[in-house]
Chain A
Amino acid sequence: MKRVVFAAVVALAGLAACAGILGLRRSTPESFPHRSHVVAGVSCTRCHPTMEAAGSALHLPDDATCTSCHTKPHDTRSCAGCHVSTLVVAELVEARAHLKFDHRRHSSATQGNCMRCHDGVATGASRVRPPMATCFRCHADKRDARACDSCHRDLAEEGTLPESHLAHDGDWIREHGTRAASSGDLCQSCHQESFCASCHGKTVPALPAATRFADPNRQSIHRAGFAARHALEARSDPGACTTCHAPDRCAACHTAKGIAGEGRGSPHPAGWVGIDNRHGREARRDPAACASCHGGAGEQLCASCHSVGGIGGNPHPPGWTSRQPLSAMPCRMCHPLGAR
């Protein structure tokens, strides 16, 4: 029996700990019951009288404001300590720090009707700060012009991520290119030139995975043991490397590390060129891999067999066409004097 009780206590303690770790058990108070105050006919400025004042105040009511109606407080501690969610306060502090906003300038436009923007308060929503969509009801022109700095002081510094659309969830490294294709200007709202260039630039000294090595939660290509598995990944996704790297990048790195180049044997297996013709199949599958070593002057190696009249035959796949004239490179390497 004692063992059962002990096990039950341990299990309960474990569940409680898990609930705390997972964030299921909130240590912060629930949101303020705005709705019941609205229903009771209490005007907004009755509790938030400083709305019309300038400055960086959070406009939160103090204990004296509360006790002007609630004349018999049930506790000696500050009202806000239990009745105001710390998350809401944190949100307000963040807004004050990052947004250019002045209630005074809006009160005339809304004719003093706070619900025009804070409509969630009346329905009992936990958030006090209106969503950005509310701002766009009147400021659609700023949204269309991507003029984020009309309201946001510094989005990059603010570190706000999109919550719904363009959410940077899942495999964002794969997804971001497709999203950015039609929303590139939206990306620029937060990301500077250097952010794109840190991966897509041709003069990148080291990828973010290397320069931010102590931040493993930062999404980055080539993270962790990529050096060991890069050959597997490259062969599984032909052309992916070419998205950022020049085709000769492989050869440059392998030569620098002494893996390839003069004095090194052929990396190709037996039967690469010959009856098995493995090289043809592999070349069609991932021509960028061939170009990584045999690009430039090395192309002559291919043309020595695959030129018109050569023993290598036609390397073009069925139905292949080109708008290049035969006199242009690389056609003229194999089609001397315009031979077809």
Chain B
Amino acid sequence: MRALVVLALVIAIRVATADPLRLRGDALASTASPAGLLVLETDAAVRADLSAEAVVWLAGSRTPGEDTTGDVLVIAVRARALADRADVRFGRFVSTLGALQPAHVDGGATRVRLPRRFEVELVAGIPVMPGLATARSWDWIAGGRLARRIADAGSVGIAYAQRRDDGQLAREELGADAGFALGKRHDLGTRVAYDLANPGLAEVALTASYRRGAVRTELYGIHRAASHLLPATSLFSVIGDVPSRRAGTVVTWRAAPRLDVIGDAGLRVVDSDVGAELVARARLRLDDRGSSVVTGELRRSGVGADMWSGIRGVARIALPASLAFTSELELVIPDDDRRGGVWPWGLGAVTYDDGTWLAALAIEASASAEYRHRVDVLGQLGRRWGR
């Protein structure tokens, strides 16, 4: 395990020797577990058609007896060929095939643009397991997507993927997706995922937006069946077919050059419970660049007995000498007050960011059903190299 992490680091650093390159290291420390986290990320474009990136991390816990852990989040090489008509990725990355669930894989993927505006994507690999658990055999995932662009307006696609865990069928999905930009004002996007292992709709999502002047209005709807999102090897994938649904509209209004007002009004339905999803948010930039921002938000969310109301305020004030002060406050009031009537949460931070060095120190305080009160101190020190 550690050897692989070291190997990943070595590869990342070897890649980073290419030019131009970007390297970023972040060390985070918190009085909450994990106590320390070191994240190293790098990307390099060796040539215009060949690039690589890697993100590796090491975490240490303050709990006595717990080992230091680490893993590779991403280590991937990407190449383009055939006059930009094909690109290939291999390594560890998140694979997305149209409407199907994203999958974190160790493997390869390719996308080829064919004549007559057709496009083919293929993915094959081993599903990533945390901690580099490679003891299992016959775990694999493979799939593909065929899409066609419709003039300049958008595209439609169908995708299929199958996943085997220890040789057994864990997921088999068929997906369809479509996205259109109709004129300068209308946008439409939809995706449907169908579970083939235990036939039934896994997920349907629709979004349609209309923009006129300073106002953008979006209508959305989501249908999700949790049992179809579980691996087919789970016993719980066969006991329920009760979907949760959510639909509503979001209006984003640029009320003034520096003021955005966002309203979200929707309904949630889970089984026989119905709940409202109401959000009102205002974001005010205190300068043209948006260096200083004040945001306020009111929210009503949940279904049935799990409804809650909340208020949130955020302020980021840019100070001289690359310094900034940030504060974030949230107050949650659950309808069911058996686990506490109010759950406050707050964070205050001072940051320094000169483009090369990043340093931040914060105090986080909260009270919840779990803790009567809790105070944590967080620190971050980062350094960027290149570009």
Contact = CB atoms under 8 A, between A and B. Distances in A.
B347 interface: yes
Given A164-B184, A214-B380, A197 B94 contact: yes
Interface in B306-350: 306-308, 310, 312, 314, 316, 324, 326, 328, 330, 332, 334, 343-345, 347, 349
A205 B189 contact: no
A259 B257 CA distance: 48
Interface string B222-249: 1011110111111111111110101000
Nearest to B166: A329
B245 to A, nearest CB: 10
B332 A228 contact: yes
Contacts of B230: 242, 247, 287-288, 291
B288 interface: yes
A320 interface: yes
Contacts of A174: 220, 222
A87 to B, nearest CB: 8
B139 interface: no
A81 interface: no
B383 interface: no
Contacts of A200: 94, 102, 104
A183 B257 CA distance: 29
Nearest to B204: A178
Size class of the contact patch on chain B: 35 or more
A123 B326 CA distance: 43
Interface string A270-309: 0000000000010111111011001100010011000000
B142 to A, nearest CB: 18
Interface stretch (A21-29, A44-52, A69-77, A103-111): A21-29
A227 B368 contact: yes
A320 B238 contact: yes
A287 B226 contact: yes
B196 A323 contact: yes
B177 interface: yes
Contact of A145 (B84, B284, B285, B334): B84
B215 to A, nearest CB: 10
Contacts of A328: 168-169
Q: Which of A169, A236, A321 has the most CB of B within 10 A?
A: A236
Interface in B121-141: 127-130
Interface in B61-80: 71-74, 76, 78
Given A149-B48, A175-B218, A242-B230, 17 more contacts: A22-B258, A178-B191, A178-B205, A181-B191, A182-B179, A196-B93, A203-B73, A225-B344, A232-B334, A237-B224, A284-B240, A285-B242, A287-B240, A290-B239, A317-B239, A320-B238, A322-B232
